[in-house]
Structure 1
Amino acid sequence: MKRQFTAVVAAVALALAGCASENEEPGAAGAADAPAAYPVTVGDITLDKRPEKIVSLSPSATEMLYAIGAGSQVTAVDDNSNYPPEAPKSELSGFQPNAEAIAAKAPDLVVLSNDTNKVVDQLTTLKIPVYVAASATTLDDTYKQLTDLGELTGHPDEAADTVRRMKDDIAKLVEGMPQRSTKLTYYYELDPTLYSVTSKTFIGALFSLAGLENIADPADADGKKGGYPQLSPEALISANPDLIFLADTKCCQQSLETVKARTGWANITAVKNGDVIALDDDIASRWGPRVVDLVKSITDAVAKAPA
C-alpha cells in the first residue's frame, strides 16, 4: 500500500480529499425522498429508471452514495472503498478499471473518478451508463457531485440536505476559530519523502479557509509541480512551521514520535510544542462528505495552538 500511495504522490496524481456531522451514520441524511421522476438527465447521462445495481470505483463516490441514502442501491465497490464498512467491497480496481470485470457485475450505473484505460468508452459501448466524479479541486466540485448523484439515484432531497449540512458545519467551524494577530504556518505531509500540497490544491484550500499559511507554496510558485511539490529537509526545517499535519499515518506509520526522531526536526516549533496532528489517511485524501471531519481537525489544531 505504501508503494502505491507514494507512486501516486510522485506522479502528482494524488487527488484530494467525508459525512457532515461526526455523530451521524452514513445514509442517515434526513427523511426518505419522495419517488423521483424518471427519466433523469445529468450532463450527457440519461437514466430511464432508478438504478438498483450501482458499481462505485471511487472511495469518495462510495462515501457520497451512502451519505445521500443510495447505499442500498450499491452492489459493488472498488478494492479501496473501505467506508462505510458495510459497502460491498469487491476485487474491482479504481486505479486500473477493467470494463469486462465491471460489466460482469451487470451494473445499471457505474461511478468512476477517472477514465483510465478509456473505460468510459468501453462501458458506453456496452450500454452501461457512467458518471465520472473527477477529483475535486474546490468544495463546489464536491457539492456538485453530491447533487448530481442525488439526481441520478433518486435521492435529490437527501443530497441537497447533505450539501446544506456540510456548508453549515464548515461555516460554523471556521467562524468559531480564535482570532490571531498573525497567521499560523503549517506543513502538510503526504508521505515521509516530504511530498506536500500547496494552497492551490483542494486540501490546501481548506487550510486557507482556516486562515493558515502554507510553507510549501514557495516550492511550487510557478505551478509546474501541479500543487504537489517535494520539499527538502533543509527548507522545511528552515521554514519552522507552527503546525504539522500527517496524512501518512496509515500508509507509512508516521506520528509525533517518528517525526521527532528525524534529523533536525526536534527543534521545529510544531514538534517542540507537540502540535503534530495525526490525520486519518482516508479522510485526508478524499473529497466526499467527511471533508467536514478534516476541516474540524484543522480548526481544532488552530484552537489548541499557542497564541
Structure 2
Amino acid sequence: MADPYPQRIVCMTEEPTEVLYALGEEHRIVGISGFTVRPPRARKEKPKVSAFTSAKIDEILKLKPDLAIGFSDIQADIARDLIKAGVEVWISNHRSVDGILAYIRRLGAMVGAGDKAEAYAQQAERHIAQVQAAASQFKRRPRVYFEEWDDPLITGIRWVAELIRLAGGDDVFPQMAGESLAKHRILGDQGEVVRQAPDIILGSWCGKRFRPERVAARDGWDAIPAVRNGDLYEIKSPIILQPGPAALFDGLSAMHAIFAEWAKRQAA
C-alpha cells in the first residue's frame, strides 16, 4: 500500500524541520527555511527556499510539494500565494509551552508518526518536569528581564515567559508576555526595566549577537542589580525564539543553568 501521508513537505520555519528529523521522518522534507540550524545536517541535505517573512514561491513550486508548513500570521501572505498556486498549507499559531507540545503531536499525526510524536512529546514533558523539580529547590527565585530586541526594546513572548518560570525565575513583565505580536511587547520607557530591578537580564536579539556591554551602558541601568553584578547573558535565538523542541530542551536547560548558578551564589 502506498504511503497515504505527505511525501513532499516544505518547512517554511525551523520547528517543523526539527520535529520531523527528530521523528525520523526527514525523508518527507523537500525544502526548508534559510534560518534552519537544527539539526545541522538539514542545511546540507535540503534546499533553502524561504525566510520568515518571505519565500521563493517559484522555487517552492518547482519542488512540487504536497504540503507546506509555516508559522503565524506573519507568513499569511506566503500561505495565500501558495494556496492560490494549489499547494496545501498548514499554518500553526501556537504561542505557549502546551502549544509546542500539542504541535509536536499534531505534526506527527499528520505524517503518520503519531506514536513516535507522542513518545517525543512525553520526553519533552519529562525534561520540563525534571527542570521544574530542580528549580523548586531554589531558596530564592531571580527576577528576570528577557529582551527579544534592543531597538526598540521588545520583551519576551509567552512561551519564553513560561519557560523562565519553569526554569526557576520570575519574568518581570508577565503582563506583556501574552501579547502575540512583537509590536505590542515594545517597552516605550527604558526606565521601566530599571524600576523592575531584575536580578538577571537575558538577551536574544532575534538573529544578531547580544551585546551585554551596550545594555549595561544604557542611561540609568547601572542601578539594576543584574548590571551591578554582571548577570547579563545571551540565550541563542535558535534555542529560544522558535516555538519548537529546541526551546523545550536546550532553551529551558540554558536558562535553568544560569538561574541555578545565581541561586547558588545567593545561598552562599
Normalised to the residue count of structure 2, the TM-score between the two structures is 0.82
Q: Tell me the equivalent position of 1:254.
A: 210
**Matched ranges for 1:261-272 at <5 A:** 261-272=217-228
What is the rounded CA distance, in whole Å, between the counterparts of 1:50 and 1:220 in structure 2? 36
* Matching residue within 61, 65, 68 for 1:110: 68
Relative contact order higher in (CA < 8 Å, ≥ 6 apart): 1
Rate the CA distance shift 1:117–1:170 in 2: closer, same or farther, 3 A: closer
Q: Tell me the equivalent position of 2:245.
A: 289
What is the rounded CA distance, in whole Å, between the counterparts of 2:226 and 2:97 in structure 1? 28
Q: Tell me the equivalent position of 1:45.
A: none
Q: Tell me the equivalent position of 2:137.
A: 179
| Letter matched to residue 244 of structure 1 | I
**218-227 or 59-68: which moved more?**
218-227
What is the rounded CA distance, in whole Å, between the counterparts of 2:181 and 2:112 in structure 1? 41
1:120 shift after superposition: 4.0
The answer as to 2:201 corresponding to 1:244 is: yes
| Letter matched to residue 257 of structure 1 | E
**Matched ranges for 1:1-307 at <5 A:** 49-87=4-42, 88-97=46-55, 99-114=57-72, 116=75, 118-120=77-79, 122-124=81-83, 126-134=85-93, 136-177=94-135, 179-180=137-138, 182-193=140-151, 195-197=153-155, 201-217=158-174, 228-248=185-205, 250-251=207-208, 253-291=209-247, 292-305=249-262, 306-307=265-266
**212-221 or 75-84: which moved more?**
212-221
Rate the CA distance shift 1:191–1:103 in 2: closer, same or farther, 3 A: same
Contact 2:138 2:168 in 1 (8 A): no
What is the rounded CA distance, in whole Å, between the counterparts of 2:155 and 2:260 in structure 1? 22
Question: Unaligned stretches of 5+ in structure 2?
Answer: none
Contact 1:54 1:110 in 2 (8 A): yes
Rate the CA distance shift 1:231–1:172 in 2: closer, same or farther, 3 A: farther
1:239 shift after superposition: 2.1
Contact 2:23 2:116 in 1 (8 A): yes
Contact 1:50 1:153 in 2 (8 A): yes
Aligned residues: 259
Contact 2:167 2:253 in 1 (8 A): no
Aligned with 1:188: secondary structure?
strand
Contact 2:198 2:226 in 1 (8 A): yes
Larger helix proportion of the pair: 2
**84-93 or 216-225: which moved more?**
216-225
Rate the CA distance shift 1:127–1:61 in 2: closer, same or farther, 3 A: same
What is the rounded CA distance, in whole Å, between the counterparts of 1:150 and 1:263 in structure 2? 49
Rate the CA distance shift 1:166–1:122 in 2: closer, same or farther, 3 A: same
What is the rounded CA distance, in whole Å, between the counterparts of 2:133 and 2:109 in structure 1? 31
Rate the CA distance shift 1:239–1:121 in 2: closer, same or farther, 3 A: closer
Question: Unaligned stretches of 5+ in structure 1?
Answer: 1-36, 39-47
Contact 1:244 1:276 in 2 (8 A): yes
| Letter matched to residue 233 of structure 2 | I
Contact 2:155 2:173 in 1 (8 A): yes
Rate the CA distance shift 1:142–1:57 in 2: closer, same or farther, 3 A: same
Rate the CA distance shift 1:178–1:151 in 2: closer, same or farther, 3 A: closer
Q: What is the RMSD of the two structures over their aligned residues, measured on CA atoms? A: 3.0
Normalised to the residue count of structure 1, the TM-score between the two structures is 0.73
